């Protein structure tokens, strides 16, 4: 991948002239992607429900010389998503890259650690509505401006929970598994028309939202049970997202790319298997 330079030896801006909409970009991985996309020359729309944080991310990008705007939106509401895409196009004149990164983090924490039989329909629906329906709506409303532009790149941020069993995560794993399938379907239906769709499947990434979770035995094993000598960082995901959003990756579509430090090389962590066993004994 690497950083490219122009003939003068200066660092090239790999996303120059592109318009990028990044969901869940008020903090964590999403915010990191927003800052880096702007550094690479993209015009960025920051979005999420936290107005104060979102406005601050956009302000910092602008203060550093980048172009950004914050648009408040709830990914669990179709009307919000439709408006979000429309305002992106109106503000910057088009849309070239869509990154579906939003996840209902607070809801996941509240509804986790339950077997499926103990998981309420309301809990399941609330998480799937944001993590899967939100992705569907973003793609649905982004496709027309993509087609008008002659193509575009959709980057869906998934999780290793979509392809590997983790204890007591029925709604989150189902939504991310659905995201993987949706990515393949978009590629199939629109690939010939210039729209690329790829999935980035991440393991545990350390940032402000996950740092406090590392104290739990399950998370410790998920982080330090990989074959990498270090835990994952936001930059690991962002670097790949930049490549997928740039013209360097125009022959890549319908792929599932792992950023997990080799965690998938191992089986289900023993501490997670024990957690399920204990739950079944209750």
pLDDT tens column, 96-109? 999 999 988 666 66
In the chain, which residue ranges form alpha helices assigned H by DSSP?
A: 28-39, 51-63, 78-92, 105-111, 121-128, 134-149, 170-190, 217-224, 234-245, 270-281
| Percent share of the chain, pLDDT over 70 | 80
Per the structure, the count of domains in the chain is 1
| pLDDT of 196 higher than 90 | yes
Q: What CATH number should be reported for the domain holding residue 36?
A: 3.40.50.720
Q: Is residue 271 part of a domain?
A: no
Average pLDDT over residues 190-210: 87
Residues found in the chain: 282
pLDDT at site 231: 78
- 109 domain residue, yes or no: yes
Average pLDDT over the chain reads 86
Reported confidence tier of residue 203, pLDDT bands at 50, 70, 90:
confident
Query: Is pLDDT above 70 for 259?
Result: yes
- The whole-number pLDDT of residue 243 equals 98
State which residues form the domain around 133: 19-213+233-261
Rounded alpha-carbon distances, angstroms, from residue 14 to 94, 106, 138, 178: 18, 34, 24, 30
Residue 205 lies in a domain: yes
Residue 227 lies in a domain: no
| Local confidence band at 38 (pLDDT 50, 70, 90 cut-offs) | very high
Is residue 80 a part of any domain in this protein? Answer: yes
Residue 137: the pLDDT is 98
Q: 62 in a domain, yes or no?
A: yes
pLDDT in the model for residue 224: 56
Asked if residue 281 belongs to a domain, the reply is no
| 231-240 mean pLDDT | 93
Structure confidence at residue 265 (pLDDT):
77
Sign of the dihedral defined by the CA atoms of residues 110, 177, 157, 146, in that order: negative
Least confident of 107-116, 129-138, 257-266: 107-116
Position 205 scores a pLDDT of 83
Q: Which residues are catalytic?
A: 172
Euclidean distance between CA atoms 227 and 77, whole angstroms:
39
Helix, strand, coil % (nearest 5) of the chain?
Answer: 55, 15, 30
pLDDT of residue 215: 53
In a domain, 282, yes or no: no
- Cα–Cα distance, 62 to 59 (Å, whole number): 5
Answer whether 0.85 is exceeded by the pTM: yes
Residue-wise pLDDT tens digits, 159-194: 988 998 777 888 999 999 999 999 999 999 999 999
């Amino acid at each position: 991948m690497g950083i490219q330079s122009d003939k003068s030896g200066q660092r090239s801006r790999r996303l120059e002239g592109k318009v990028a909409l990044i969901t869940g970009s008020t903090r964590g991985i999403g915010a990191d992607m927003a800052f880096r996309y702007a550094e690479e020359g993209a015009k960025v729309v920051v979005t999420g429900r936290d107005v104060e944080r979102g406005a601050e991310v956009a302000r910092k990008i602008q203060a550093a010389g980048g172009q950004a705007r914050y648009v408040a939106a709830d990914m669990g509401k179709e009307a919000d998503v439709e408006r979000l895409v429309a305002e992106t196009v109106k503000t910057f004149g088009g849309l070239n890259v869509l990154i579906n990164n939003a996840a209902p983090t607070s809801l996941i924490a509240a509804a986790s650690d339950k077997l499926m039989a103990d998981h309420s329909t309301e809990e399941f629906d609330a998480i799937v509505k944001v993590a899967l329906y939100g992705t569907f709506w973003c793609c649905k409303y982004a496709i027309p401006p993509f087609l008008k532009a002659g193509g575009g790149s959709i980057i869906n941020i998934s999780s290793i929970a979509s392809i590997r069993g983790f204890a007591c995560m029925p709604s989150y794993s189902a939504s991310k598994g659905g995201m993987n399938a949706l990515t393949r379907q978009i590629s199939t239906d629109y690939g010939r028309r210039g729209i690329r769709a790829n999935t980035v499947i991440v393991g545990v990434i350390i940032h402000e939202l996950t740092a406090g979770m590392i104290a739990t035995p399950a998370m410790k094993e998920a982080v330090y049970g990989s074959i990498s000598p270090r835990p994952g960082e936001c930059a690991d995901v962002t670097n790949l997202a930049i490549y997928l959003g740039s013209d360097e990756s125009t022959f890549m579509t319908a792929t599932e790319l792992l950023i997990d430090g080799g965690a998938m090389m191992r089986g289900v962590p023993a501490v997670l298997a024990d957690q399920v066993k204990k739950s079944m004994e209750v």
